[in-house]
Amino acid sequence: MYRHLNVSVRMLQVDDLHIVHSLGEKLFEKFPNLIRNWDQHAVMSQFQTDREFSLVAVCGNNRIIAGFALGTYIEKPLQKKKFGHLTWLGVHPDYARRGIGQRLVLEFEKLVREEGCQQLLVDTEADNAPAISLFNKLNFSHKEKHVYFSKAV
**Residue 57 Ramachandran class (φ > 0 left, ψ -120 to 50 alpha, else beta):** beta
Instruction: Tell me the pLDDT band of 29, cut-offs 50, 70 and 90.
Output: confident
Residue-level pLDDT at 38:
84
Residue-level pLDDT at 152:
72
pTM summary value: 0.87
What's the mean pLDDT when you consider all of the chain?
87
Instruction: Tell me the pLDDT band of 78, cut-offs 50, 70 and 90.
Output: confident
Instruction: Tell me the pLDDT band of 2, cut-offs 50, 70 and 90.
Output: very low
Which run of H or E residues covers position 71? strand 64-76
- Among candidate residues 63, 67, 43, 55, the one with its CA nearest the CA of residue 107: 55
Query: Which amino acid type is present at position 121?
Result: L
**Residue 64 Ramachandran class (φ > 0 left, ψ -120 to 50 alpha, else beta):** beta
pLDDT above 60 (res 133): yes
